[in-house]
């Protein structure tokens, strides 16, 4: 069971939260100019990091707000919690 | 050595102490025609069919741990082919047909038990979806039928079919040819068959790099030295993205833990497989008497081979909802495997941006049932550098072209 520190509500059990997948995937600024390969990369391709992963969570059964988490996908240790739109305070690392 | 009643008798006289090892454990050579990365069921099946169907025997299977120690040894051993879309139905049905002859083909008892797989419907939407699915499956020549609640009760008397239950059972689809097989035996039998045809199976040998130049693969770096090779087939399930990064491309795959557990052994009480997408659980009883119970993946991505307890708690709740008789059963073991989930819940089997490098991944929660079929088509793809008709649609390019094969209905929970 993960203990996740919601930036607004404090530490709560993971089953209050929903996982939002990889963070920092930017929607194309000019969608009509994108090639099929660029769309595939945006829509489907994932880093799937083995190591420190930057990911999004939402406090579904709480304040309902989104935030970013830096979590190790091997040890499940959470190294940082930071706001949406903020630059990650730690660098993602590992394979995948 | 051929296994038979006579070899059994002969070895009985020596108290079964002189059975030869089922496969050799050679040191890796410096070069092979084909290197298969991953010694799970799919990788071993690939090596076996490379040798058996294509006469390619200068092959090494590299496994970082022990054979079948990943998802092959961690699944709930269910086999079925009741998939909606033509592409998947043909692929999984091919696998099921191979399973039906596999014990004889391998001279190794994989303990296939075609005990029937029931998928329950709990509301009108489920029921309509089930009818559509059964009709599509039958059009593909695969056995499938619909049971009403009375027929379900007759088949599985311990199932709670009370109309006053929270999620009443309104109907079910049944594939009678579906069932279970001994997962370890599938890996061991395929390993023994591949080894007998000259394939080198090398355990405790992790691939740490894929060397390629001019867009073509040259060899693999391993913890036991560099191995030159003409072709590389990667079948590593949860670690597919890590291997893809070594080769310099990305995959549309996310790795998640999938948990399962077994109860203490009890006398025979549950003779088929029951699955429910709506209340989120599936259960069968092993030959040892343990109930084998599984459900869906943990939501967040992970490489840890363990999951969270809330997931277990939910699936236990679902189990008791369906089978109140199991409420006082104690659970014996619980574990997790790392599954590679594709956005359309269908696998990727085929060529990659690097020439002579082939990937077989993205099986998500349902790879075990496809093991021999997956090996059959992947071996063909590697041998001929072109996909078998059965896996021609399962390319990596489908995520660019948009020709996805959406099997979430068949795959989201029910494996």
B217 and B364 inside one domain: yes
Beta partners for A67? A57
Q: What is the pLDDT along chain B (415 residues), one digit of tens a residue?
A: 899 999 999 999 999 999 999 999 999 999 999 999 999 999 999 999 999 999 999 999 999 999 999 999 999 999 999 999 999 999 999 999 999 999 999 999 999 999 999 999 999 999 999 999 999 999 999 999 999 999 999 999 999 999 899 899 999 999 999 999 999 999 999 999 999 999 999 999 999 999 999 999 999 999 999 999 999 999 999 999 999 999 999 999 999 999 999 999 999 999 999 999 888 899 999 999 999 999 889 999 999 989 899 999 999 999 999 999 999 999 999 999 999 999 999 999 999 999 999 999 999 999 999 999 999 999 999 999 999 999 999 999 999 999 999 988 764 444 4
Smallest Cβ–Cβ distance between B251 and the set A14, A21, A45 belongs to A45
Count up the domains in chain B and report the number: 2
Contact B299 A40 (CB under 8 A): no
B196 and B171 inside one domain: no
Task: For residue A28, give the CATH number of its domain.
Answer: 3.30.2270.10
- Cα–Cα distance between A4 and B279 in angstroms, integer? 27
Smallest Cβ–Cβ distance between B301 and the set A39, A44, A48 belongs to A48
Residue A91 belongs to some domain of the structure = no
End-to-end Cα distance, chain B:
35
Among chain A residues, CA nearest to B312: A1
Residue B85 belongs to some domain of the structure = no
| Mutation for testing the A interface, residue in B303, B314, B404 having most A CBs under 10 Å | B303
Residue B67 belongs to some domain of the structure = yes
Residue A94 belongs to some domain of the structure = no
Residue A96 belongs to some domain of the structure = no
End-to-end Cα distance, chain A:
24
Task: For residue B386, give the CATH number of its domain.
Answer: 3.50.50.60
The shortest C-alpha distance from A51 to chain B (Å) reads: 8
pLDDT at B280 (0 to 100): 87
Residue B23 belongs to some domain of the structure = no
ipTM value for the complex: 0.94
How many C-beta neighbours within 10 Å does residue B369 have? 26
B317 and B348 inside one domain: no
Residues of A in contact with B400 (CB under 8 A): 36-37, 39-40
Residues of A in contact with B314 (CB under 8 A): none
pLDDT digits (tens, 9 = 90+) for A33-45: 999 999 999 999 9
Residue A75 belongs to some domain of the structure = yes
Contact B252 A45 (CB under 8 A): yes
B173 and B259 inside one domain: yes
B319 and B261 inside one domain: yes
Residue A42 belongs to some domain of the structure = yes
Count up the domains in chain A and report the number: 1
Among chain B residues, CA nearest to A72: B302
Among chain B residues, CA nearest to A95: B242
B330 and B187 inside one domain: no
Residues of A in contact with B401 (CB under 8 A): 36
Contact B253 A2 (CB under 8 A): no
B173 and B265 inside one domain: yes
Helix (H) or strand (E) holding B263: strand B254-263
Packing angle, helices B371-384 and B41-54, rounded to 10: 50
Is B177:B82 a contact under the CB 8 Å cutoff?
no
* Full residue range of the structural domain in which residue A40 is found: 3-82
B69 and B34 inside one domain: yes
Smallest Cβ–Cβ distance between A95 and the set B245, B250, B400 belongs to B245
Residue B10 belongs to some domain of the structure = no
B333 and B356 inside one domain: no
pLDDT at B410 (0 to 100): 62
Beta partners for B338? B257
B332 and B263 inside one domain: yes
Contact B254 A37 (CB under 8 A): no
B73 and B143 inside one domain: no
Smallest Cβ–Cβ distance between A48 and the set B255, B304, B308 belongs to B255
Contact B399 A18 (CB under 8 A): no
Among chain A residues, CA nearest to B255: A48
- As given in the structure block, the two tokens for residue B177 are 């040819």
Is B295:B281 a contact under the CB 8 Å cutoff?
yes
CA nearest B393: which of B22, B85, B48?
Answer: B85
Residue A7 belongs to some domain of the structure = yes
Task: For residue B314, give the CATH number of its domain.
Answer: 3.30.9.10
- Cα–Cα distance between A21 and B253 in angstroms, integer? 12
Smallest Cβ–Cβ distance between B241 and the set A41, A43, A96 belongs to A96
Contact A44 B245 (CB under 8 A): no
- As given in the structure block, the two tokens for residue B215 are 């867009």
Give me chain A's average pLDDT, please. Answer: 95
Final residue belonging to a domain, choices B341, B375, B409: B341
**Backbone conformation region of residue A8, classed left if phi is above 0, alpha if psi is from -120 to 50, else beta:** alpha
Residue A29: C-alpha distances to residues A24, A33, A54, A55, A85 (Å) = 14, 9, 22, 21, 16
pLDDT at B300 (0 to 100): 94
- As given in the structure block, the two tokens for residue B115 are 């005990």
* Full residue range of the structural domain in which residue B305 is found: 113-177+255-341
B193 and B148 inside one domain: no
């Amino acid at each position: 069971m993960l203990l996740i520190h919601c930036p607004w509500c404090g530490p709560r059990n993971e089953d209050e939260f929903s996982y939002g997948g990889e963070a920092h995937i930017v929607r194309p600024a000019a969608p009509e100019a994108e090639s099929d390969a660029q769309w595939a990369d945006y829509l489907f391709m994932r880093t799937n990091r083995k190591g420190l992963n930057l990911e999004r969570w939402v406090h579904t059964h709480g304040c309902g707000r989104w935030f970013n988490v830096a979590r190790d996908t091997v040890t499940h240790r959470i190294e940082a919690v930071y706001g949406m739109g903020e630059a990650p305070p730690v660098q993602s690392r590992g394979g995948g | 050595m051929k296994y038979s009643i006579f070899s059994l008798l002969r070895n009985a006289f020596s108290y079964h102490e002189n059975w030869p090892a089922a496969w050799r454990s050679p040191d890796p050579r410096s070069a092979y025609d084909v290197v298969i990365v991953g010694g799970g069921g799919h990788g071993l099946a690939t090596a076996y069919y490379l040798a058996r169907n294509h006469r390619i025997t200068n092959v090494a299977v590299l496994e970082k741990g022990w054979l079948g120690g990943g998802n092959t040894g961690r699944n709930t051993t269910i086999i079925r082919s009741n998939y909606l879309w033509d592409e998947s139905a043909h692929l999984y049905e091919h696998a099921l047909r191979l399973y039906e002859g596999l014990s004889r083909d391998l001279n190794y008892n994989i303990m296939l038990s075609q005990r029937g797989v029931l998928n329950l419907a709990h509301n009108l939407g489920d029921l309509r979806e089930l009818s559509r699915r059964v009709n599509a499956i039958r059009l593909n020549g695969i056995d499938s039928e619909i049971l009403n609640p009375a027929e379900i009760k007759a088949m599985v008397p311990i199932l709670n079919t009370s109309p006053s239950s929270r999620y009443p059972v309104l109907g079910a689809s049944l594939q009678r040819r579906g069932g279970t097989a001994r997962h370890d035996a599938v890996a061991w039998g395929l390993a023994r068959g591949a080894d007998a045809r000259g394939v080198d199976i090398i355990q405790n040998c992790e691939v740490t790099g894929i060397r390629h130049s001019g867009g073509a693969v040259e060899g693999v770096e391993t913890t036991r030295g560099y191995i030159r090779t003409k072709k590389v087939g990667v079948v590593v399930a949860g670690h597919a993205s890590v291997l893809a990064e070594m080769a310099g491309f990305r995959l549309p795959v996310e790795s998640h833990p999938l948990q399962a557990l077994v109860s203490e052994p009890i006398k025979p009480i549950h003779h088929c497989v029951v699955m429910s997408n709506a209340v989120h659980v599936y259960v069968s009883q092993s030959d040892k008497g343990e109930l084998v119970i599984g459900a869906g993946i943990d939501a967040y991505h992970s490489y840890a081979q363990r999951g969270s307890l809330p997931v277990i708690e939910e699936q236990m709740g679902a189990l008791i909802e369906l089978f109140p008789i199991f409420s006082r059963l104690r659970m014996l073991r619980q574990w997790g495997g790392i599954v590679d989930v594709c956005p359309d819940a269908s696998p990727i089997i085929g060529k990659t941006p690097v020439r002579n490098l082939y990937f077989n991944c993205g099986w998500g929660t349902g790879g075990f049932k496809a093991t021999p079929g997956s090996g059959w088509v992947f071996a063909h793809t590697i041998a001929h550098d072109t996909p078998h008709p059965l896996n021609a649609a399962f390319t990596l390019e489908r995520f660019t072209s948009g020709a996805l094969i959406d099997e979430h209905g068949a795959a989201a929970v029910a494996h």
